Amino acid sequence: MRISNRKRVMVTGGAGFLGSHLCDRLLREGCDVLCVDNFYSGTKDNVHHLIGNPNFELIRHDVTFPLYVEVDEIYNLACPASPIHYQRDPVQTTKTSVHGAINMLGLAKRIKAKIFQASTSEVYGDPEIHPQPESYWGRVNPNGIRSCYDEGKRCAETLFFDYWRQHDLEIKVVRIFNTYGPRMHPNDGRVVSNFIVQALRGDDITIYGDGMQTRSFCYVDDLIEGFVRMMGAAKEVTGPINMGNPGEFTIKELAETVLNMVGGKSKLVFKPLPSDDPRQRQPDIGQAKSILGWEPQVKLQEGLEKTIDYFRKQVSASVM
């Protein structure tokens, strides 16, 4: 017999950038939260403030191995998401996406839990359609240096929908576009954190390619709101649903904006574009708006201010 009426929610990758913010949100909503992470790219610092909360539990575990727990909902966020981290051990990255999905889906099936998959805009590869709707199948290199992540996430989506069709499992699949905010890893190679840290240190700001490639940047609080709405949607709402900010900026525009906000004397330095780096990335969020009533609220300038404040404290404390 259950002693508590609190919803029990597991977040894999819960000590990561997105996972830790999701744990915060779920605890504020009165859930019991089980945070699962192997700390490959996540860090205990991201959830340190939650240690001691009686409704929060932290487990060191790698999702490529089965896990036996009792929960009501599972958010599967486990997988390094930045190129530097996922290319460091590409075989393990693929295993995390594929074996991790198999293990979490198997758990959800056994305990009849609702399960959420954090997929990615990288399933679209270097797109021929702009902006990218969920109906677009993508243009992905299956054997490039980014394929461990791109194809791993595509396979995870396949597994989720096969479990849904074959076992009537309640699934929720969200495709995440570029997200930024406090608790990003300072050395993860993503443009927002890169540019902010370089500007704060007075280093040259490194732009790969000509800087004309575009990205759309969503503040983390907006994305977490979308996650929660998706998990709370009706059973027939499976996704995949795009989540991101459709405001599109060139990488050069982002660098110049960060530099103006931080100040200093950093210069823009251009280097060759990495292999398979997409030229355009912008979400079509029509489904998120019509089905979930969700769209981003935080403007880029506002989100950057909060993110810069976070990294300024990190630089001042010489943590990085």
Q: Give pLDDT, residue 318.
A: 59
- CA torsion 258→85→63→276, rounded to 10°? 90
Give the residue ranges of DSSP H helices in the chain.
Answer: 17-28, 83-88, 90-111, 147-167, 191-201, 220-231, 251-262, 286-292, 300-316
pLDDT at residue 278 is higher than 80: no
Mean pLDDT on 19-32:
98
Length in residues, the chain: 320
The single-letter code of the amino acid at 180 is Y
With a cut of 50, say whether residue 320 has pLDDT above it: no
Quickly state the pLDDT bin for 2 (edges 50, 70, 90): low
pTM of the model: 0.94
Q: Spell out the domains of the chain, with CATH numbers in brackets.
A: 8-183+218-245+277-297 (3.40.50.720)
* Catalytic residue, candidates 149, 163, 180, 219: 149
Residue 317 clears pLDDT 70, i.e. is over it: no
Average pLDDT over the chain, rounded to an integer: 93
**Is pLDDT at 262 greater than 90 in this prediction?**
yes
Check residue 280 and give its pLDDT: 80
Q: What is the mean pLDDT of residues 9-13?
A: 98
310 is catalytic: no
pLDDT digits (tens, 9 = 90+) for 186-219: 887 789 999 999 999 999 999 999 999 989 999 9
